[in-house]
Chains A and B, each alone.
Chain A
């Protein structure tokens, strides 16, 4: 007689056996003392596990109002990139274009194969004329198996399509000493031009948008940031002062700056400094050197935020940098106080953006007031909740800092973080 499995005993105690299995199990229990004993042991074990877990009661749980949760979801939806809906007609057009492309490619491919086979059959044929040999040579290099005889005739169509790239490669193989210079001249220049055009287009777009939306908007520096409102991102005003500027002028002004920057910095560094998440452009050099400091200061004057390393941020701040321990620092930048809402105009504001485990951004904005702060200006953190669910604590501490801590985490978490600021 086989005994009841342990899992079934627990399922029985948990009330999770169906009627048939329960009846069968009870029938067995009635005649098996061993299983009765094991059943009692399982019952005690189950009770013990529940008792142990009952020790882990969280205590008073903070339950935020449901509208706060809805606000966070709405804010996230607004922040998410818009969905791209494709009309059926466009989808059909795209599908046809792809099909056409595949057909064209495969035609070239099969053309090559036919050409190669024909060339194999014609391997003993007389050599082609000089012009044809030039065109066929790169393909011969690629295949490495066939002579040019007959290839130009058989695969002429395919070769004509591809003659550009193999010729360049062939040329470079023949003249290795000239390869580097030519490649640098030809390839990256094209990329740079594309990048410059993209940036110029972006700026022109900004200028046009600003012209449409704010025809009479005052310059950025003339506006003071409202004291009582918080925003996570700085106010971008690059477009305001250029509103109405013709496209060509905008391009002319951006291009030299961009080119100069690219000459000074390697491409990797430029990509690292570029902030795709913020509207506007970041064509400023970080203060890594004296020239960089001047460029950053110039950018600051124009109201732009400058990405910096934490050590550099402390220099801008004029005091020790306040940080949040244990969280992952995503980025640091410095901007004029007048462009950061909630910050004081006339002083640089350092913004540190952290990320917590759930991927939430937590932003710490700080300004060092030092002797400018009156003794009685020290204040406790005051909470402000934006309609989109973002919370912010703002306060002046006894060390002379004006601090703003923002995030879409719970107020308790934010307060705990504020309490443990380094």
Chain B
């Protein structure tokens, strides 16, 4: 398949996958582009699965790098200082809070469960998920069931923790 066509069809999906994985849009775009650059070097036979596998690896490396964590913190801090937050509407505030909780809940999942769930949400079939993660096809249903259960439970747990904090304040 022509890689430029794959790029047109799947670039946004790859960015979304990475964004959900690392929570930083600029970095997600960088890593998605990096995955396509590597695809041009390697010319994989099944580019979509290959790209998401490489992207997952890049995201994993990203998570391991303390330097990047520092950078994120610095950028976030600098951003906060540069743009003093105006009082946002309640809806936007609630949405931001929800996003933060989902990100935190997702971070509580095991690596493999999280990636299986994110790949499923990007339209991957069980066969493709199994290939990308090195699992047997028969275990994908169980993996997804566990990931969904834990995600929902972690989100609810944080919601109740947040409510308790609100009451305390």
Given contacts A14-B144, A410-B33, contact A52 B152 (CB under 8 A): yes
Across the interface, B37 reaches (CB within 8 A) one of A48, A76, A420, namely: A76
Q: How big is chain B's contact interface, by range? A: 35 or more
* Interface flag for A380 (CB, 8 Å): no
In the complex the two chains form, is A72's CB within 8 Å of B71's CB? no
Binary A-proximity of B57-89 (CB < 8 A = 1, otherwise 0): 010011001011011111100110010000000
Given contacts A56-B99, A61-B29, contact A8 B73 (CB under 8 A): no
In the complex the two chains form, is A10's CB within 8 Å of B145's CB? yes
Most buried by A among B8, B28, B74: B74
15 contacts between A and B (CB under 8 A): A7-B143, A7-B144, A11-B141, A53-B20, A53-B121, A56-B19, A56-B103, A61-B12, A63-B11, A73-B37, A326-B70, A327-B67, A356-B68, A410-B29, A420-B74
In the complex the two chains form, is A57's CB within 8 Å of B142's CB? no
* Interface flag for B45 (CB, 8 Å): no
A69 and B41 alpha carbons, distance in the complex (Å): 11
The interface of chain B, by Cβ under 8 A from chain A, is: 4, 7-8, 11-12, 15-16, 19-20, 23, 25-31, 33-34, 36-37, 40-41, 58, 61-62, 65, 67-68, 70-75, 78-79, 82, 95, 98-99, 102-103, 105-106, 117-118, 120-121, 125-126, 139-145, 147-149, 151-152, 155
Return chain B residues, CB-CB under 8 Å to A7: 139-145
Return chain B residues, CB-CB under 8 Å to A55: 95, 98-99, 102
In the complex the two chains form, is A49's CB within 8 Å of B151's CB? yes
Most buried by B among A7, A9, A57, A59: A7
In the complex the two chains form, is B25's CB within 8 Å of A416's CB? no
Return chain A residues, CB-CB under 8 Å to B126: 11, 14, 16
Given contacts A77-B41, A420-B74, contact A45 B62 (CB under 8 A): no
In the complex the two chains form, is A326's CB within 8 Å of B75's CB? yes
Most buried by A among B29, B41, B141: B141
Binary B-proximity of A1-26 (CB < 8 A = 1, otherwise 0): 00001111111001010000000000
Return chain A residues, CB-CB under 8 Å to B99: 55-56
**Residue ID in chain B nearest A63 by CB atoms:** B11
Across the interface, B67 reaches (CB within 8 A) one of A46, A52, A62, A326, namely: A326
Most buried by B among A10, A77, A327: A10
In the complex the two chains form, is B142's CB within 8 Å of A358's CB? no
Most buried by A among B34, B58, B118: B34
In the complex the two chains form, is A325's CB within 8 Å of B71's CB? yes
Given contacts A10-B141, A77-B41, contact A66 B62 (CB under 8 A): no
* Interface flag for A279 (CB, 8 Å): no
* Interface flag for A357 (CB, 8 Å): yes
A76 and B37 alpha carbons, distance in the complex (Å): 9
In the complex the two chains form, is B40's CB within 8 Å of A70's CB? yes
Pairs A-B, 9 closest by C-beta atoms: A326-B71, A7-B142, A11-B141, A7-B141, A73-B40, A49-B148, A58-B19, A326-B74, A10-B145
In the complex the two chains form, is A327's CB within 8 Å of B71's CB? yes
Interface residues of A in 386-422 (CB under 8 A from B): 409-410, 412-413, 416, 419-420
* Interface flag for A221 (CB, 8 Å): no
In the complex the two chains form, is B144's CB within 8 Å of A69's CB? no
For the complex formed, measure the closest distance between the CB of B158 and the CB atoms of chain A, giving whole angstroms.
11
**Residue ID in chain B nearest A416 by CB atoms:** B26
* Interface flag for A50 (CB, 8 Å): yes
* Interface flag for A64 (CB, 8 Å): yes
In the complex the two chains form, is A45's CB within 8 Å of B149's CB? yes
* Interface flag for A328 (CB, 8 Å): yes
In the complex the two chains form, is B155's CB within 8 Å of A52's CB? yes
In the complex the two chains form, is A16's CB within 8 Å of B121's CB? no
For the complex formed, measure the closest distance between the CB of A70 and the CB atoms of chain B, giving whole angstroms.
6
In the complex the two chains form, is A69's CB within 8 Å of B117's CB? no
For the complex formed, measure the closest distance between the CB of A116 and the CB atoms of chain B, giving whole angstroms.
52
For the complex formed, measure the closest distance between the CB of A392 and the CB atoms of chain B, giving whole angstroms.
17
A46 and B141 alpha carbons, distance in the complex (Å): 11
Return chain B residues, CB-CB under 8 Å to A10: 141-142, 144-145, 148
A55 and B105 alpha carbons, distance in the complex (Å): 12
A346 and B41 alpha carbons, distance in the complex (Å): 41
A360 and B151 alpha carbons, distance in the complex (Å): 33
